[in-house]
Amino acid sequence: MTVQPDTGFPAAPPVDEPSREWGRLDPRMIIVRPLNELLGLLIPLFAIAFLGNGETWRLAVSGATVGALILYGLFAWLTTKYRISETQVELHKGLLLRQRLAIPRDRIRTVDLTSKLGHRLFGLTAVRVGTGQQERTPGEGVVLDAVTAAEADRLRQVFLHRPTATDEPTADQPADEGTPISTLDRRWYRYAPLSMSGLVTIGIFAGFGMNILNELDLEFSKVGFIRSVVTWVTDSNPLVVVPAVAGVVLLVSVILSFLTYLLQNHGYHLNRHADGTVRVRRGLLTTRSVSVEEQRLRGVTLHEPLLLRAGRGGRLTAVTTGLGRANGSGLLLPPAPRAEADRVSAEVLHAPTAPTAERLTRHPARARTRRLVRAITPNVVLAGALLLLAASADWPNWLWITAVCLLPISVLIGLDRYRNLGHTLTDRYLVSRSGSLDRETVALQRTGIIGWKFTQTLFQRRAGLLSVTAVTAAGKGGYAVVDIGEGDGLALADKTIPDLLRPFLAPY
Amino acid sequence: MENTEWRLRPPANLVSKRAILHWTLRAAIVWTIVVGAQAIHLLIDDGSSTWVRVVALVSLVVAVAHVAVMPRWRYAVHRWETSPEAVYTRSGWINQEWRLAPVSRIQTVDTARGPLQQLLNLSTVTVTTASAAGPVKIENLDASVAARIADELTSTTQATPGDAT
């Protein structure tokens, strides 16, 4: 039925071995897909159906949503099929928009196995295949959602097994558990509240909840408890209310961040496998297992947001081709002690010492002025604008006073940004560090650099500074060494890849 | 050698002289729309307040300065060079950018011409690599020069083995 869909696309490239059978996704997906969607919509649906006065339209909307989801699951299953030949992976999918995807197997760099709760009830797993191609929008690319867990494991072995090896990759190889690099330590939970994830979750829920309440016109003021809380907040002394609300938000955010950590990182394992991959497994309800081909691992990024840094912790992600930027698929180590992050980065990169722990060369003092100016200017502009509005348009005075009071903080942030600037060159890695609120230390493999970008603003030119960006196929595509002295920056680039830049340099 | 203070030398070739005209026209079109809209508003609405007039005057001054200065400044900055090993470009005006891409890492070479460029017989060469950091562009070359560079780069790229990642 899907021989030649009516699209203007050219036919998929010819397949070497057309005898291979088309496979379908597991039939249980007819149930699992709607189930997964329903789990996400449970709260809004419940709110629509049962809050309010039980009008018929509420029930009708809920019923129609559930019906549509079930139909969607059925059609998604009916229209999706895949085939794996010697040279490529093909996937056909879509009802209204037919898609035919084919990717060469030797371009597969990463395999990401994800099982949501619905999947796990039925022992299924979604397989996402990453190639060297940069993902333009999240969700693009070849995803087999879903096959049985055993089939998924077989596919991973097939996909990451290099075609140069002649022996047929089979499932009868003994299960490869790999050598552990790192596993979750219960003490790491103390870093959970430092990651601010709880506060973010509260923000999302508050925004989402407000929207739904507005849309549905629910009359919460009729619920006694909520009404008494609202009356208390509006009537009491602000000196009592503000600390109380702050305390509650803090408490809830701490609890939520523990929960998030548990949900995302339960059972975290980082292993190295004999087939030349490193594999991260984690998750409580939704389990993920991401395999990265080590040959394509171009480096690591150590993330130290301010609070996590204050607690001497850090988070590690992979710099590699083929991982989507969506929802943290590149995570190598969840928030953990800094020492552990350094140890893991050394192990993963096969380096004798951790490149992320190297002593970095500071940038010239001229860079400090620039960091300070860039940190303070927006604040000054904001304060000035608010002052103007207070004078001319009767805006309250406390706004600009607050903005002025924030100035010392932006000065501190500027100084910290300068303090964190740094770079160094190890025998295989270019290391660069920058940022304050979210400090990042990138160790980028020197052989993975495929070009340079040098940028200079007017002010940098006057200060004799330069930003050097190492262009690479992996990760973000470019990693910058910010505000390095002009001569030092060029010398650094020249030393990183000998002979490339030299013909374009001239002595002063 | 290790103690020499280095600087980037300017790439060897200038872009086409007609590029100045292209940049001037492009800026002039945008500014005509912006300033024109404000002028029409002032003509129709007699009672506009002082600050509306001030904003209109300021945008007129900025427009004239931008159209007068930017194209010449750009022409002095925009330069390019290709060697058997690499493509090397400089672009920008107030803020400047140098790009260096080894020929062995080039994936595609395209030329493209916008409507204004077609009028002026200009062409832009876009050299893409495997990176998401954006392509290397040489703007506003004479069309024949652009075609020649694209041909040269394509043939040297094809002669280089590997998947350029």
- Residue A219 has what pLDDT? 58
**Per-residue model confidence (pLDDT) at position A444:** 94
What is the residue-level pLDDT of chain A in tens, covering all 508 positions? Answer: 334 444 455 555 444 444 467 888 888 888 888 888 887 777 777 777 766 666 777 778 888 888 888 888 888 888 888 888 888 888 888 777 777 888 788 778 888 888 888 888 888 888 888 776 554 454 556 788 878 888 888 888 888 775 444 444 444 444 567 889 999 999 999 998 887 766 777 777 777 777 766 666 555 556 667 777 777 777 777 778 888 888 888 888 888 888 889 988 999 999 998 888 899 999 888 888 888 888 888 999 999 998 899 999 999 999 987 775 555 678 899 999 999 999 999 999 998 999 999 999 999 999 999 999 999 999 999 999 999 888 888 888 888 888 899 999 999 999 999 999 999 999 999 999 999 888 999 999 999 999 999 999 999 999 999 999 999 988 888 999 999 999 999 999 999 998 889 889 988 7
CB contact residues (below 8 A), chain A span 452-491, against chain B: 452-458, 461, 469, 471-473, 476-478, 486-487, 490-491
Domain finish residue from A402, A417, A432: A417
The answer to whether position A347 is within a domain reads no
Q: What per-residue confidence (pLDDT) applies to A483?
A: 93
- Contacts across the A-B interface (CB distance below 8 Å): 108
The CATH code of domain B79-158 reads 2.30.29
Within 10 angstroms of residue A92's Cβ, the number of other Cβ atoms is 18
| pLDDT above 70 (res B162) | no
Residues A405 and A434 in one domain: no
In a domain, A203, yes or no: yes
In a domain, A400, yes or no: yes
- CA distance linking residue A129 with residue A126, whole number of Å: 10
Domain carrying residue A213: 188-265
Residue with tokens 């409580």: A284
Is A508 in CB contact (< 8 Å) with chain B? yes
Give the residue with greater pLDDT, B58 vs A211: B58
Among B4, B5, B6, pick the best mutation site for testing chain A contact (most A Cβ within 10 A).
B6
Residue A52 lies in a domain: no
Contact A450 B165 (CB under 8 A): yes
Residue among A441, A270, A278 nearest A355 (CA): A441
Alpha-carbon distance A382 to A389, whole Å?
A: 11
pLDDT of B67-81, one tens digit each?
999 999 999 999 999
Q: Which residue has the higher pLDDT, B134 or B116?
A: B116
The verdict on A412 and A476 lying in the same domain is: no
Q: What is the bridge-based pairing of β-strands B106-112 and B96-102?
A: unpaired
Domain range list for chain B? 13-75, 79-158
State which residue of chain A sits closest to B91, comparing Cα positions: A455
Examine the domain organization and report whether A436 and A400 are in the same domain: no
| Same domain flag for A375 and A395 | yes
- Band (pLDDT 50/70/90 cuts) for residue B161 is low
Top pLDDT among B48 and A83 is at A83
Does residue A486 belong to any structural domain of this protein?
A: yes
In chain B, the residue whose alpha carbon lies closest to the alpha carbon of A472 is: B131
Domain tally, chain A: 3
Find out whether the peptide bond into A146 is cis, omega within 30 degrees of 0.
yes
Please name the amino acid found at residue A45: L
Confidence label for B133 from pLDDT (cuts 50, 70 and 90): confident
pLDDT of the residue at B164: 59
Cβ contact A472–B131 (<8 Å)? yes
Closest Cα in chain A to B136: A453
Residue after which a domain boundary falls, among A386, A417, A448: A417
Identify whether residues A370 and A450 lie together within a single domain: no
Taking CA atoms, A296 is separated from A108, A132, A390, A451, in Å, by 10, 9, 56, 17
- Across the interface, of B6, B94, B130, the residue whose CB is closest to A490 is B6
User: A396 and A468: one domain?
Assistant: no
A63 domain residue, yes or no? no
Measured in degrees and rounded to the nearest 5, phi and psi for residue B130 equal -75, 0
Q: Do A242 and A200 reside in the same domain of the chain?
A: yes
- Of A246, A265, A284, which marks where a domain is finished? A265
For the cut 90, the answer to whether the pLDDT of residue B24 exceeds it is: yes
How high is the pLDDT of residue B3?
60
CA distance A254 to chain B (A): 37
pLDDT for the residue numbered B98: 95
pLDDT at position A506, please? 87
Choose among A451, A477, A478: nearest Cβ to B100.
Answer: A451
Instruction: Give me the pLDDT at residue A7, please.
Output: 47
Q: Is residue A135 part of a domain?
A: no
| Paired residues of A272 in beta bridges | A179, A278
Determine, for residues A490 and B98 on separate chains, whether the beta-carbon distance falls below 8 Å: no
- Under the phi-then-psi rule, with left for phi > 0, alpha for psi from -120 to 50, and beta for the rest, what region is A220? alpha
Phi and psi based region of residue A276 (left: phi greater than 0; alpha: psi -120 to 50; beta: remaining):
left
Taking 3-state DSSP, the helix, strand and coil percentages for chain B, each rounded to the nearest 5, stand at 45, 25, 25
